[in-house]
Amino acid sequence: MAPFDDFEVVVPASTANMGPGFDSLGMALNLFLRLRFSHQDRMEIVLRGDQWKGVPADGRNLVIRVMREAFRRMGRKLPPFRLEMESDIPLMRGLGSSAAAVVGGLLAANHLLGGPFSKEEILLEATRREGHPDNAAASLFGGVVICSWDGERVYHVQGDPPPLHVVTAVPSFSLSTEQARKVLPKSLPHPLAVLASSRANLLTAALLTGKWELLEVAMEDWFHQPYRFPLVPGMEEVLADSQRHGALGVALSGAGPTLIAFTREPERVGRFMKGVFARHGISVRILSLLPFAEGATVRLTIGMGRSKFMGNTEGVET
């Protein structure tokens, strides 16, 4: 493969489910995975920062595996390069770290291949890898994304992000999606499923129309959260009492263990959440985040020009 201009892929974090929107509702957040690529004659992966414990810096790296598969689909061999990875997104905490890596790898491969895949094809491939579209769609498109995945196609609608703070309580322990899914029931009684789906409908409408006063009720869930209470000590209390401490709505973020709260009073809500977890002996990191309107981007970092895939991203001199 001919030498390529250095480029960077930036992918936002995401929160998914937000209560009853199980495997179908996601929102981008202003934490980011950054992948910086430069041409060289041997493969090199540099992990910057101190949060990469357990992440391989070789061909087993998720970004590299995703890129290699994309090249294989096009009958091409992945070329060598230098990849620097840096991320604000906590790993295995329910903030879309794996989806960001998958989306970032697909966008990088697409850029190097000359842009053969559309965004919809990239979302479909990310969904196949993740098993659900909500995190990947939010990271790829930005804003709030409502999705439906039938095992073959992904349907999605994108909306503007809410003008609210998103307080996140990130516990010191990790929780794998696989572990969190093992505690879910195989079925729900029909009346409970009807109620749960009605809450998801209400949540979608509230987010798209700005009815923030409905979030408290709309984010109530019976699809997954009650079964995950034992996995996250303090979660049940936070969900029950946060509204009395300034939260508009609160939920487990993805599979957890992070909790999120929509609010206009981030400091007050953060103090409450931290106090609850402390009483349960859990150390948490409180972050006051914002919903992020933009999806993942690709930009050139040497020379001037435009990515063939992301035509609205100007190259910059470094």
What's the rounded mean pLDDT across residues 267-292?
Answer: 97
User: What string of DSSP letters covers 126-193?
Assistant: HHHHHSSSHHHHHHHH-SEEEEEE-SS-EEEEEEPPPSSEEEEEEESS---HHHHHHTS-S---HHHH
Q: Is 1 annotated as a binding residue?
A: no
38-52, 113-127, 192-206, 286-300: which has the minimum mean pLDDT? 38-52
Is 14 within any annotated ligand binding site?
no
Please enumerate in sequence order all residues whose Cβ is within 8 A of that of 23, keeping only pairs 6 or more positions apart, or say none.
16, 17, 132, 133, 134, 149
- Architecture in CATH for domain 165-289: 2-Layer Sandwich (3.30)
99 labeled binding residue? yes
93 is in an annotated binding site: yes
Residue 195's identity, in one-letter code, is L
Instruction: Judge whether 95 is annotated as a binding position.
Output: yes
pTM above 0.85, yes or no: yes
Tens digits of per-residue pLDDT, 139-180?
999 999 999 999 999 999 999 999 999 999 999 998 888 889
pLDDT at position 1:
63
For residue 26, say whether it is annotated as part of any ligand binding site.
no
**Euclidean distance between CA atoms 312 and 318, whole angstroms:** 19
Domain ranges of the chain: 7-160+293-300, 165-289
User: Does residue 310 register a pLDDT over 70?
Assistant: no
CA dist list (Å): 277 to 170, 249, 281: 10, 18, 6
Angle between helices 119-130 and 134-141 (to 10 degrees): 150
Confirm or deny that 100 is annotated as ligand binding.
Answer: yes
Which run of H or of E encompasses 169?
Answer: strand 165-171
What's the token pair of residue 285? 């990191």
- 7-160+293-300: CATH topology: Ribosomal Protein S5; domain 2 (3.30.230)
- For residue range 115-135, what is the model confidence (pLDDT) as tens digits? 999 999 999 999 999 999 999
DSSP helix/strand/coil, 23: strand
92 is in an annotated binding site: yes
The 10 Å Cβ neighbour count of residue 78 is: 19
- 7-160+293-300 and 165-289: identical CATH topology: no
107 is in an annotated binding site: no
